[in-house]
Homo-oligomer: A and B are copies of this chain.
């Protein structure tokens, strides 16, 4: 559905969101441990997310990654878009470049409905929405 890079990105962002609720910055090492990902790899991904304005960072001691209030309102769709682009939301299910209502692949109509569903779901899922359930240990970011 989404790339592995994107899966890591989402999990990392959810963790950063959780920590940012208490105004805590988190380092790459902590994040990597929390989401069970290769440390240098998630570092690269975060770098990219910073460049794209989805997360904030501070260097030096007491530095790390964090979200501001605008950050909590970012959605999964925003992250997917930043990492994988919009092909999940708008691409053809059978890989055709020109697939559209005018020139549809056989399953065009069915896929339009499904993709709309996916997009709505991901736009509705905001980074700030999961802090409590993560805090309570009801939801998991690894294994």
Binding site for B on A (CB under 8 A): 1-2, 4, 7-8, 10-11, 14, 76, 88, 91, 93-99, 103-108, 110-111, 113-114, 117-118, 121, 125, 130, 133-134, 138-143
- Number of copies of this chain in the oligomer? 2
Query: Known interface pairs A94-B10, A140-B99, A142-B96. Does A114 touch B121 (Cβ–Cβ under 8 Å)?
Result: yes
Lowest 9 CB-CB distances: which A-B pairs, in order?
A7-B95, A106-B130, A106-B139, A98-B143, A7-B94, A110-B121, A11-B94, A103-B140, A114-B118
B103–A125 CB distance below 8 A: no
Q: Smallest CB-CB separation from A142: which chain B residue?
A: B96
B105–A139 CB distance below 8 A: yes
Q: Which residues of B contact A98 (CB under 8 A)?
A: 140, 143
Task: Tell me the smallest distance from the CB of A112 to a CB of chain B, in Å.
Answer: 11
Q: Which residues of B contact A133 (CB under 8 A)?
A: 106
